[in-house]
């Protein structure tokens, strides 16, 4: 009985609690909020404007958008020949195509 008591006491004294995962977010941390902030930190880049039979489309940061669509809390207001107009919180922002020259490669 004494041996069982001594072993139990030793196990309690020398056992350490399992350390918390250091990569786990703190309690109450909203990971959705941090991913939204990370998205917002990415600069907007207009990659393509194409005029289709269904109307013009634009590609911003890899997302295909039409007039009225939303991307990162921006609403696409207008698609012009070489630029688009976005609006967020009442403020407008214009994105332009940087490379508007079409290159012809000849053999």
Cα(73)–Cα(75) distance, integer angstroms = 7
Tell me: pLDDT of 65 over 80: yes
- The domain ranges of the chain are 43-107
Name the least confident of 46-50, 88-92, 103-107.
103-107
pLDDT band, residue 107 (cuts 50/70/90): very low
Cα(75)–Cα(41) distance, integer angstroms = 17
- pTM, whole model, 2 decimals? 0.56
Tell me, which fold does domain 43-107 have in CATH? SH3 type barrels. (2.30.30)
Cα(97)–Cα(101) distance, integer angstroms = 10
């Amino acid at each position: 009985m004494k041996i069982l008591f001594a072993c139990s006491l030793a196990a309690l004294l020398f056992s350490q609690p399992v350390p918390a995962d250091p990569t786990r977010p703190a309690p109450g941390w909203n990971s959705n909020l941090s991913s939204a902030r990370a998205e917002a930190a990415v600069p907007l880049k207009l990659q393509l404007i194409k005029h289709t039979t269904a109307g013009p489309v634009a590609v911003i940061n890899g997302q295909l958008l039409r007039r009225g669509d939303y991307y990162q809390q921006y609403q696409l207001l207008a698609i012009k020949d070489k630029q688009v107009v976005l609006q967020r919180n009442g403020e407008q922002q214009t994105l332009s195509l940087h490379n508007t020259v079409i290159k012809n490669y000849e053999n």
